[in-house]
Copies of this chain bind each other. A is one copy, B any other.
C-alpha cells in the first residue's frame, strides 16, 4: 500500500477516535515509521489532510448509495445503518459526530467539505423515506424532512453515547427508527 493512503487511513481513524484537534503529525509519523516531513510532503498543511479525508468520505458515500440503488427502501436504510454498526465495532464515531462539535475551530476548507457532506447525506435519506412512503413500505405522519433529520441525528449521537455510557445505544436507536417507520397517527 502506498504511504499517502496509509497516512489518510490512519488520520481518518485518529480523527474518528480522538478528534481533529487531538491528533498530531507525530502520531502518524511514529506509527508509520516515517518522518514528520514526509506527511507534509503529501499534505502540506494539516487542513489539506483533513479536507482530503472528508472528501474521500463523500466519494465513498456516493459509491455506497449508488451500489444500494436497486434495493428496497428498507434494505437501503439497513445498509446505511450497517455502516454505523461497522464503525461501532471498530470503536469509531462517524466523521460528522467527530468534526461537527469542533466545527468552529476548523479551517474554512474543511467546514465547506463538511457542510457539503451533511447536505448529501440528508438529501439521500429524504429520497429513501420518500421512496418508502411511495411503495408503502414506510408509514409515518411527521414531516418528511424533519423525520429524516431525526434519523441521522439519533444515529450520529448514538455512537457518541455508546462511548460515554458503555451501552449499545445504536441498537436501541435502530429499533426505534424502524418502529417509527411503521406507524400511523391515532
Contacts and interface: CB of A to CB of B under 8 A. Distances in A.
Interface of A: 17-19, 21-22, 93, 96-98, 100-105, 114-115, 118-119, 122, 139, 141-143, 145-147, 149-150, 152-158, 160-161, 163-166, 169, 172-173, 175-177, 179-180, 182-186
B105 A19 contact: yes
A39 B21 CA distance: 23
Contacts of A119: 165
Nearest to A99: B164
A158 B119 CA distance: 14
B146 A156 contact: no
Taking chain A's interface residues, is the majority helix, strand, or loop, or is none over half, making it mixed? helix
A160 B157 CA distance: 9
Contacts of A103: 160, 163-164
Contacts of A158: 149, 153
